[in-house]
Structure formats: structure tokens, C-alpha cells
């Protein structure tokens, strides 16, 4: 299955530094880095260092970490200068949600007027 926890994802290599990323923020629990294929002038990802494969697999013990990711998303959005005009936070989950990397990540997208609803 795509969420096979025995297989590392590309994000493990970003966490370990084996592949480069434009890191915007890092602490002991999480990292924020620019998306390699940006969908807006500002598009970065916030990921936990401890892997959760997808939102729908989150457990009770993950609640504090999920909160930390959400808090970090807005803190980095403010640092990046997109918060005054507003921005979007998205988690794609599973096949219908178009998730492609099975290491949970918040997309933070802004820097222009976005449209809604998505396709």
C-alpha cells in the first residue's frame, strides 16, 4: 500500500539532509521547506520529523504534534510575509485527496488571490 511505513519517503531524505531543500524553519519536532513545484508565489510544506503517513492514520498520541504543525504553519507564513493578506493551509489525504507523498505535510500557499472551491 502507498502508506507502507517500512518504506522511507523523499521527505525522510530531506529531514536527514541527504537531499537539499530550501529550509525555512526547523525545530526538534518539525521542518518547513519550500515546495519544489510551487502552486503560488509562496508555497511551502510543514512536516513532522516523526512520520505520520497521512492525516487519516493519526492517533490520539499525535494530537500535540498535529497542533504544533498547524501553529508552525502560521508562524512561518507570518515570517514569509503572506499572513497579512491571508493564505491557505491544505492537507491532501489518500488517493481521492491527491496525496502523493505518504509522510503527512501541510501545504501553505499564498502570496496571491487564490480561488475556491478546488477541483
Binding residue for ligand 5GP (CB under 6 A) from 18, 26, 79, 98? 98
Active site residues: 105
Least distance between ligand 5GP and beta carbon 117 (Å)? 17
Segment (H or E) for 12? helix 10-16
Binding residue for ligand 5GP (CB under 6 A) from 3, 12, 35, 62? 35
Stretch that binds ligand 5GP, among 33-41, 55-63, 78-86, 110-118 (CB under 6 A): 33-41
Q: What is the DSSP string of 50-97?
A: S----GGG--GGGHHHHHHHHHHHHHHHHHTT-TTT-EEEE---TTTT
Least distance between ligand 5GP and beta carbon 35 (Å)? 5
Tell which residue, 86, 16, 89, has the closest CA to residue 51. Answer: 16
Q: In the 8-state DSSP scheme, what is residue 14? A: H
33 contributes a contact to ligand 5GP by CB under 6 A: yes
Tell me if residue 112 falls in helix, strand or coil: coil
Binding positions for ligand 5GP, rule: CB under 6 A: 10, 21, 33-37, 92, 98-101
Amino acid at each position: 500500500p502507498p502508506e507502507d511505513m517500512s518504506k522511507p519517503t523523499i521527505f525522510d531524505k530531506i529531514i536527514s539532509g541527504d537531499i537539499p531543500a530550501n529550509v525555512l524553519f526547523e525545530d526538534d519536532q518539525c521542518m518547513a521547506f519550500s515546495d519544489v513545484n510551487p502552486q503560488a508565489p509562496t508555497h511551502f510544506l510543514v512536516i513532522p520529523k516523526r512520520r505520520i503517513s497521512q492525516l487519516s492514520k493519526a492517533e490520539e498520541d499525535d494530537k500535540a504534534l498535529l497542533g504544533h504543525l498547524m501553529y508552525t504553519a502560521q508562524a512561518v507564513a507570518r515570517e514569509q510575509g503572506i499572513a497579512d493578506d491571508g493564505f491557505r493551509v491544505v492537507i491532501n489525504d489518500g488517493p481521492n485527496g491527491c496525496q502523493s507523498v505518504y509522510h503527512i505535510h501541510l501545504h501553505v500557499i499564498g502570496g496571491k488571490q487564490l480561488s475556491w472551491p478546488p477541483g
